[in-house]
């Protein structure tokens, strides 16, 4: 829940900032391997659809949103992937 609140706050800050055309990279951590891979793939597709719609409408302040995929099967792997992102 804290990560979601931080992400929403960061995106809100970007929306309030100045206009620039650099790509905006956003990390997407889901379980892409293991027993929950199907759930992770489907969740990521939902995020992809939302990003595609936002990019088609001009992105965020003219910046194209680019998703950076990260595999987070368990808590330890999620921490490592969050640091990498």
Q: How far, CA to CA in Å, does 12 sit from each of 8, 9, 17, 25, 77? A: 6, 5, 9, 15, 28
Sequence spans of domains, the chain: 2-84
pTM of the complete model: 0.69
| Average pLDDT of every residue of the chain | 85
pLDDT at residue 12, rounded to an integer: 53
Distance between CA atoms of residues 38 and 6, nearest Å:
26
According to the model, what pLDDT value does residue 64 have?
Answer: 97
More confident residue, 18 or 77: 77
Tell me the pLDDT tens digit for each residue of 1-10. Answer: 445 444 545 5
Check pLDDT > 80 for residue 24. yes
Note the CATH number of domain 2-84. 3.40.50.2300
């Amino acid at each position: 829940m804290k990560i979601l609140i931080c992400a929403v706050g960061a995106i809100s800050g970007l929306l309030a900032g100045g206009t620039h055309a650099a790509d905006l990279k956003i990390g997407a951590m889901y379980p892409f391997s293991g027993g929950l891979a199907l759930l992770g793939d489907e969740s990521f597709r939902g995020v992809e659809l939302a990003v595609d719609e936002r990019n088609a409408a001009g992105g965020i302040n003219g910046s194209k949103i680019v998703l950076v995929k990260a595999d987070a099967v368990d808590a330890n792997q999620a921490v490592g992937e969050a640091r990498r992102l």
